[in-house]
Amino acid sequence: MLPPLETAPLPADAIEIGRITDAWGIKGWFKVMPYSASPEALFSAKSWFLLPPDRPMKPARVTANTTPAQAAWSEPLLLEVKEIKDHSDNLVASAEGVPDRNTAEALRGSRIFVSRSSFPAASEGEYYWVDLIGLQVINREGVVLGQVRDLMSTGPQTVLLIEAAPEAEGGKPVERMIPFVSVFVDGVDLPGQRITVDWQPDY
């Protein structure tokens, strides 16, 4: 059964940043899988909002009393985080209202959302991926190359995945990949919702 956590509406600026993967230990701690390699938002936000898994989760262990932990769960649950820390290759956390392993196991698969306003401030010249998605990309000549659909980490650098409207009616959208490095990116205007690049449509 789910723990008796409060329900609360998702903030208007809620961002999904990870999920709870399993219980850890016997004192109510649980493992967290962040979606970002730099999960500062998980550490800075003290209030997490949980939604049920987007796909069924197999129970960690099956007993005669095993029941669907996520049954009839539809409203976001408010989780007040007490502590979060690195452990081996995982993050582990503890929270109010999750006192033991059984309670933690009931949260397996939960998707974690936090308010964008709770993110720590980015350093000069750094940006959160979520803030770049949807921005219009234009080149120095004013040609619109498309919108940022996603970003991809290739190890040494991040790449913008750009999607533009099809060049012909009924055609497929045009996709472009632009390295997010100063050699190609002239500037990011978050208020103006625009990224200016040194890039040509036929590259």
pLDDT in tens, 11-24: 999 999 999 999 99
pLDDT over 90 (residue 87) = no
Q: Percentage of the chain with pLDDT > 70?
A: 86
Q: Which amino acid is at 33?
A: M
pLDDT digits (tens, 9 = 90+) for 31-40: 999 987 678 8
Domain residues of the chain, as ranges? Answer: 14-118, 129-197
Q: Which amino acid is at 147?
A: Q
The encoded tokens of residue 177 equal 């990949």
pLDDT digits (tens, 9 = 90+) for 147-177: 999 888 887 788 999 999 877 666 788 899 9
Greater model confidence, 61 or 75: 75
CATH topology of domain 129-197: SH3 type barrels. (2.30.30)
CATH topology of domain 14-118: Elongation Factor Tu (Ef-tu); domain 3 (2.40.30)
How are beta strands 29-34 and 90-95 bridged, if at all? antiparallel
